[in-house]
Structure 1
Amino acid sequence: MARVSVMQTEERRAGVRGALAALAENPVKNKAVLVKPNFNTADPAPGSTHNDTLTALVDQLWEMGAASIRLGERSYTPTHQVMQQKGVGALLEERQVQVIDFDDLAPGDWVLCRPADTHWNDGFRVARPILEAECLVSTGCLKTHQFGGVITLSLKLHVGVVPAFRNGFAYMQELHGSPYQQEMIAEINAPFSPALIVMDGIDTFVDGGPATGKRIKGNVMLAATDRVAVDAVGVAMLKHLGSNPAVMEPGIFELRQIKRAAELGIGVRSTSDIDLVPADDASAGLSAALEKILSRG
């Protein structure tokens, strides 16, 4: 069983703290941690990771005993511009977090991965810091994706570990031009495994996304160690809030990102393998509602 903690709150710092406490797992103690945020663009949350969520997570990681913390990202526009627009530089510096701009990686630090079973034509490249991270922590946003991905949760978050263009090939052009985009998103996740995932659903896009969309209050923070499990619960939350037909109509494990990830053994294989844990009494009602949606498969 994969535990997913559910914290119902309007406040991000309390949400991060409560979700991690309820998860009752500490994979970061004495580890060199690499944080992967959602900084594809600098759009306000859920278009990108909210600064309050990021700083709350970093503070909690230090409290949990992380030996060191770095942050690594590749954005849609130049990564340094996105971070500058978000104003995270000083916030990270004062928390002793080193930033790795994947745009600055040498060609040899984009490692070619050629799985035997993939929809990528000739494999894909992954940033070496991701593959070599002693402890990877991923933090994404709860939202839909209007450009073929359908959902953008923890699996889709990791598109940012693949280059847009490197070594003479346009990887994002292949991804977004393929009818198998959703399967390819899942396949990106096969070469590495985050030790911890925190998903911010305080604000959500129930349609549109990933940068802008139909925004409503979700008032939830999720935490897990299993990408497929947390994405399944994220989809249940989108269904609970009322999303678009591409999310509302299929079963959770019929969504192609999740189905493919389950096939590859990236995480749980069905909703029956997920154990929802409410963070407090105030979160119990929402957890029960999500459990009911999960039970439908």
Structure 2
Amino acid sequence: MSMLYGTMNRRRCVQTILMLGAGLLSGVGMPTPTMAQQQSRVVIVKTENRKVGIKRAMAEFDLAGFKGMPVAIKANYNSADPFPASTHPDTLKAMTQGLKAAGAGPMTLVERSGMGDTAQVLETMQAMDVAKEVGFNVVIMDDLRKEDFIRYSPPGSHWKNGFLLERHFVEAIRVVQTCCLKTHQYGGHFTLSLKNAVGAIAKIDPETGYNYMNELHNSPMQRTLVAEISKVYRNDLIIMDGLEAFVDGGPHKGTKVKPGVIIVSTDPVAVDAVGVAILRMYGTTPEVSRGSVFDQEQIKRAAELGIGARRASDIQLVPIGSDAQEFADRVQAELN
């Protein structure tokens, strides 16, 4: 059952919805009206140690705004297949421990698997063990009721009936996600931070029975629909685990490479642009290789909506660690 935070937070929820509808909300990770004039910082830590890499990357961001605040967390548990198909337990542990060290309030991991029973997937992938060890709540979306979601129909959206966003991602003051680095063979082309937000919306409307995932996966505009979710889905911190990646196949299996990087930002467009650049560096699918990075449909639509960076020059790469500068230079060349 979805956890509520009391009368004060319900009022904040209403205020948040109104501000989102008016395009007025700007937080740690929300785009501001001047986003196009600012550079989005993307920290690149070259490492083979998740714990060290995530800690170093998170240290580059001011997390004072997390102190005492409820945090909604989205990881990548689409299936019970091992990393890089799913979030590595050490990544979830390092991220949540880092948030706890920053003084974050109650944390809640909210998940919905697309390829398997969510509860079983979380058990298999040790997410439940990490939750007990670190001390955060877990919400399984499979059996939630209509009151556990907020309905959105963003202006100009291509979703036929809008979509339902799980309530924690609206009510929590901070939203954090960790995603993997991989391609997507079922029409998404790649599944990074923008695509990870799909798991934050309902598969089926509890009230009407409408299947949002059927609409998504059968639509010729699948990648556009993916991008449009992040018009209302916030990102206050994004951690991409790129120690390994799938350069083809995906999301559950594919050819593995080892970039050996942790990518952290507050801008999902910038994260995905860097992710696509890295996939191209290692040789990837024709779909992901085609055109410029910012011509990729997910990225292009998100940039049009003002969700984040609009062009390569809007991204500031911050390399950390041995060989990180050389790696960042290669990423920059692909972005350009």
Q: TM-score range by the shorter chain?
A: over 0.9
User: How much has 1:238 moved relative to structure 2?
Assistant: 0.8
Flag the structure with higher strand content: 1
Matches within 5 A, 1:245-264: 245-264=286-305
Report SS of the residue matched to 2:186: coil
Distance 1:141 1:286 in 2: 18
Give the TM-score taking structure 2 as reference length. Answer: 0.85
Q: In the TM superposition, what is the alpha-carbon distance from 1:23 to its structure 2 partner?
A: 4.3
Letter in 2 for 1:100: V
Offset of residue 28 of structure 1: 2.1
Kept in 2: contact 1:22–1:279 (CA 8 A):
no
Q: TM-score, normalised by structure 1?
A: 0.96
Counterpart Cα distance in 2 of 1:200 and 1:27:
23
- The verdict on how the C-alpha distance between 1:292 and 1:24 changes in structure 2, with shifts beyond 3 A counting, is farther
- Distance in 2, matches of 1:98 and 1:142, equals 26
**Match for 1:264: what amino acid?**
L
1:102 aligns with 2:123: no
Picking from 241, 257, 260, the partner of 1:200 is 241
Amino acid at match of 1:104: D
* 1:233 counterpart = 2:274: yes
Q: How far, CA to CA, are the matches of 1:96 and 1:113 in structure 2? A: 31
Q: Assess if the C-alpha contact under 8 Å between 1:186 and 1:258 holds in 2.
A: yes
Letter matched to residue 137 of structure 2: Q
Counterparts of 2:70 and 2:247, CA distance in 1: 35
Match of 2:166 among 117, 127, 135: 127
Correspondence for 1:216: 257
Residue pair 1:21, 1:279 contacting (<8 A) in 2 also: no
Instruction: Assess, with a 3 A threshold, how the Cα gap between structure 1 residues 193 and 180 changes in structure 2: closer, same or farther.
Output: same
Gaps of 5+ in 1: none
Q: Offset of 1:25 from its aligned partner?
A: 5.3
What is the Cα deviation at residue 52 of structure 1?
0.7
How many equivalent residue pairs?
A: 295
Q: Say whether residues 1:51 and 2:92 are aligned partners.
A: no
Q: Percent identity?
A: 43
Which deviates more from structure 2 when the two are superposed, residues 97-106 or residues 46-55?
Answer: 97-106
Detail structure 1 runs of 4+ shifted over 6 Å in the superposition. Answer: none
In the alignment, structure 1 residue 80 sits paired with structure 2 residue 119: yes
The 3 A distance-change label for structure 1 pair 241 and 22 is farther
After TM superposition, give the deviation of residue 281 of structure 1 in Å: 4.2
2:178 corresponding residue in structure 1: 139
Contact 1:27 1:195 in 2 (8 A): no
Match of 1:61 in 2: 99
Partner of 2:70: 32
5+ long unaligned stretches in structure 2: 1-38
1:180-225, CA deviations, whole angstroms, 9 ceiling, x for partnerless residues? 0000000111112110000011110000100111111121110000
Moved more, 86-95 or 208-217: 86-95
CA contact (8 A) 2:302 2:308 kept: yes
Counterparts of 1:150 and 1:88, CA distance in 2:
27
The yes-or-no answer on 1:15 pairing with 2:56 is: no
| Secondary structure at 1:212 match in 2 | coil
What is the distance in 2 between the residues matched to 1:279 and 1:17?
12
Residue 114, structure 1, aligned to residue 149, structure 2: no
Distance in 1, Cα, partners of 2:300 & 2:310: 8
Q: CA RMSD, aligned part only?
A: 1.3
Code of the residue aligned with 2:97 in structure 1: it is D
Higher mean C-alpha displacement, 203-212 vs 62-71: 62-71
Q: Which residue in the other structure is 1:277 paired with?
A: 318
What letter is aligned with 1:163?
Answer: A
